[in-house]
Structure 1
Amino acid sequence: MISYNPKEWFTFIFRFHKADTFRALFPLMAGIAVYCWVLDYLILDYFKLGEDIHLKNINTMHSMLGFVISLLLVFRTNTAYDRWWEGRKQWGALVNCSRNLALKLDTILVEKDDKLFFRKIIPYYASTLNLHLKNEKISQELFDEFDINIDHKKHKPNQVIRLLMKKVNELHKSHKITGEQLLYINPELTAFTDICGACERIKNTPIPFSYSVFLKKFIFFYVMTLPFGYVFSLGNYTIPVVIFIFYVLASLELIAEEIEDPFGHDENDLPTAKIAENIKKNIEEIL
């Protein structure tokens, strides 16, 4: 995730960041420039069409469709940001649950070995969830000290939380945790699985395919028809105008595509690895 100062206006304007949409769109912008130049030449110089032609009235269609495309893009970006923010809230809840569970166990448990187990296994859940959401391989070495074998064909976070709950149940059976204390820590234990399910829902449920494809086609055909309306009034200046309009519309779509899956490796994705590391530091301080 990119860290920045939102008050530095001039830094943003005159610096092209690696994640800037201009880099991704430059080949398309170059192609559109050639397309506009060819149309300008054919209409004004080759066929020498005059302003009395009805083709120049196509701007009326652009005016009506401009409002529609703006509504579609607003809905698209808002939906994508909601997914990004929901992912951030879920990882914030994971931080709080990990801290609360550690604080409760610190007051309940007496033996040092029991605290040491939770000191290590609670941060492991955050680390495992981070790798699970990014579809990365989870090393068996992570669990060797607990003498367990992680089955890579099964759900890894579930295996970690199962180990955690199994340990809590053993402490309850050995009367190190009372029934009331078990109910006391149960909300945090169940919250881990709820958070994992919410993150998987965001990751595995993308924007409907038909909507995404339609919006891309809408932007493409809208931009491709712009030169027919502007060429009679702007001439060769149609080229930069159409390129700028395409840059604005396509950039909004690219930004939405990048942030709708907040658990990847893009620069604007959530820093889940850093959050997991912070959870580890917090738990080690508590226990």
Structure 2
Amino acid sequence: MTLFHLLLVAVIQGITEFLPVSSSGHLILLPNLTGMADQGQAIDVAVHVGTLGAVILYFWSDVRVALGGLPRLLRGKTDTPGAKLAFLLLIATIPVIIAGLLLKITGLDDAMRSITVIGWAMLVFGLVLWWADQKGASDLEASDWSTRHAWILGLWQAVALIPGTSRSGIVITGARHLGYERSDAARLSMLMSIPTILASGALLGTEVVGEADWEMLRLAGIGAAFAFLSALVALVLMMRLLRSVSFTPYVVYRVVLGVVLIWLGHTA
């Protein structure tokens, strides 16, 4: 694997992991459209670790509160803000873990990795995001997050296992539909990504244990670092932009890319 290829994968993963445009879809498209070899699971784990570090750093105040609440949650109590947040994040992660295991066991996860599937997911869920963003109210804040809403957003997040959907995009869609303000919808989506990335990274990590050598570890470290930096930049820019603009620019990008991919899929 060349250094250029590694940096390209890391930057694509970092930028698209938290923007509502689908990181998995873009990484699947990379070898399909360029002829480059698949980067392999070890690099996938590394760039996921990099993006995980970025979201933890950016939302450290929330993460610290949730970590502080874990001891009380382990004792079965959710009577503090930290314990409640940790509990809600746990609840919101259950649907995607169950759905992910089912897809892996049945082999459907590989069956959906096609340009046509990604194209339709880009197009359809992009339009759904636009609808929810334009029609959704803005009378709820992140502090209003409840157990019921955690389950609902968890189910929305499970839909993101369809390549091209976008984990952050579909959770933001669900949150805007429920009535959360734009920046708080994005905040909930990012916080929900932490246990989800941890779970997916652990699953991938178990499959590459014992296979990595020193060269692979070196490349993985470089990939993680660049994914971290690009994800942090993407997070900062998106959260700042949401103060003055809607999600429409991301929707336009998704629709255009979706149409192109559907056309390519049907003419290949």
The alignment's TM-score, normalised by the length of structure 1, stands at 0.27
> Over alpha carbons, which structure has the higher Rg?
1
